[in-house]
Amino acid sequence: MVNVLAYFVLPTVLLVLGVPIFLVLLVTCLVVVLFVADIPTEAIQTYIFGSLDNFPLLAVPFFVLAGEIMAQGGIARRVVIWVISLIGGVRGSLAVTTVVASELFGAMAHTAVGTVVAVGRMIYPSLRENGYSDRFAVGLIASSGAIAVVIPPSIAMILYSLSAQQSAVALFTAGILPSLLIGFVDAMFVMGYARVKAVPLTAGTHWIEVWKSTKEAGWSIGTVAVIFGGIYGGIFTPTEAAGVAVIYSLFVTMVVHGEVGLRELWRIITSSVFLISQILMIVTAAGLYSWLLTTSGIPQQVVAAINAMALPPWGLLLSINVALLLMGSFLEPPAAILILTPLLLPLVEAVGVSPIHFGIIMAVNLSIGMYTPPFGLNLFASQAVFETPLGTIYRGVLPFLLINFATLMVITYVPSISMVLLGR
């Protein structure tokens, strides 16, 4: 009973009170060490600093910095304009552009909230001017931005690879088709919505404009080619790819386009450091919490209790999906992955689910959690950017929650979608 209060009730109460997640985890760990577990306090600092001593973890700050440079240095803007020029003359083309732009920006910036802000600021005014309601436009942007959690190279997958001791490249490869499937389903839905609502047609595709935007965005599009080509071509590891992405994006923004000077670079670096410190504090706190939880024996008891229920594999996966969706609406993906992976991975491995496939299931769940009421982070980001009431945003994301939950079920129960590119 004491263990349950310390490990689960205390952090839940702190979360409800609005305490930042890293403080929730650190306070919980301190209480456990002082009053519950027979562990010396010196173990806290040893494990905290030890959890950062991991080479693949270097990919996180590099990818964050590269994403900030792309977002603030004009790379992302050029890519979005290029997508807009390609998709035109079809009813719903502007909404489809939002989905495609979010996928591309998510692959470059690796942050769901950043994708909502960047893509939303550029496309939201056009959505409203072209007949889309405020509710639909904000719901579309909030849900589309969450793809950054799934589409490789995803920071969430890097953290899962560390926690589950799996290959990051294998996870990236497995995430390609599921992320494209989510985008395809969303695109089909918004096109159907536009037809039912008789949204006006946008201007058709003009090849002169396509050529101009392609020429302007050539170096920016090369960012995606450099990252993916390097990783999947075996030229460098994901960590090295993150460093190369920083160098390439600096070259494009400072030399080719000349939009970033030393003053702007300093501002980008300071904003990146703030975000990186948030992520790494969560990593260390969640790592300590997971270690204490594991040594307490609670995961083994949970596994034994669930095994005693004799759930079929489909029932176990359904239960885990529901739990992940619930947790994803309260926790940020990095914290959720680091806390829940040690608990859930033994359960799914026991029924024959591949750790790689389960990593994709977790990522998709947590991406949906980013816009699941009441506390999904994308909801609050959308409210801040578009000044739309939360009630309107909740109603706007509901259709996307339903269709993406259906897509999640397909990804969960058809593992070949994730595993086929790995030859498994």
Separation CA 164–CA 262 (nearest Å): 40
Separation CA 229–CA 11 (nearest Å): 42
- Burial of 124 (C-beta count, 10 Å sphere; 0-12/13-18/19+): buried
CA 141 and chain centroid, separation: 14
| 11 upstream amide cis, omega within 30 of 0 | no
Where in the chain are the domains? 57-422
- Return the SS3 of 194: helix
Q: Residue 129: its pLDDT value, please?
A: 78
Which residues are within 8 A (CB) of 17 and not within 5 positions of it... i.e. 6 or more apart?
none
DSSP letter for 9, please: I
Separation CA 184–CA 188 (nearest Å): 6
Q: Residue 355: its pLDDT value, please?
A: 94
Q: Residue 302: its pLDDT value, please?
A: 67
Contact 397, 209 (CB under 8 A): no
- Copy the structure tokens of residue 417: 């979608």
Residues 224-261 as b/e (b if ≥16 CB within 10 A, e otherwise) read bebbbebbeeeeebbbebbbbbbebbbebbbeebeebe
Half-sphere exposure of 196 (CA within 13 A, CB side): 6
Contact 141, 119 (CB under 8 A): yes
- Copy the structure tokens of residue 25: 């985890």
Separation CA 64–CA 55 (nearest Å): 16
Separation CA 297–CA 271 (nearest Å): 40
Asked whether the whole model's pTM tops 0.85, one would answer no
Separation CA 116–CA 153 (nearest Å): 18
- Copy the structure tokens of residue 373: 């009421």
DSSP-assigned states of every residue in 66-119: HHHHHHHSSHHHHHHHHHHHHS-SSTTHHHHHHHHHHHHHHHHH--HHHHHHHH
Contact 379, 371 (CB under 8 A): yes
CA 333 and chain centroid, separation: 7
Number of H helices, E strands in the chain: 21, 0
Q: Residue 420: its pLDDT value, please?
A: 92
Q: Tens of pLDDT along the chain (424 residues)? A: 567 677 777 887 887 777 777 788 888 888 888 887 777 777 777 777 776 776 667 777 888 888 788 777 777 778 777 777 777 667 777 888 888 888 877 777 677 877 787 777 777 887 887 778 889 989 999 898 888 888 888 888 888 998 888 988 899 999 999 999 999 999 999 888 888 887 766 665 667 777 877 787 788 878 778 877 887 777 887 778 888 888 988 998 888 888 888 888 898 888 888 878 877 787 787 777 777 777 777 666 766 777 777 778 888 898 889 888 877 777 778 878 888 888 888 888 888 889 999 999 999 999 998 888 877 778 877 887 787 888 888 899 999 999 999 999 999 999 999 999 887 6
Q: Residue 263: its pLDDT value, please?
A: 86
DSSP-assigned states of every residue in 35-78: IIS---THHHHHHHHHHH--GGGGHHHHHHHHHHHHHHSSHHHH
Separation CA 33–CA 338 (nearest Å): 19
Place of tokens 């952090």: 11
Separation CA 47–CA 289 (nearest Å): 10
Contact 340, 327 (CB under 8 A): yes
Contact 290, 338 (CB under 8 A): yes
Separation CA 419–CA 414 (nearest Å): 9
Kindly report the number of other CB atoms within 10 A of residue 125's CB atom.
11
Q: Residue 243: its pLDDT value, please?
A: 86
**Which amino acid, one-letter code, is at 43?**
A
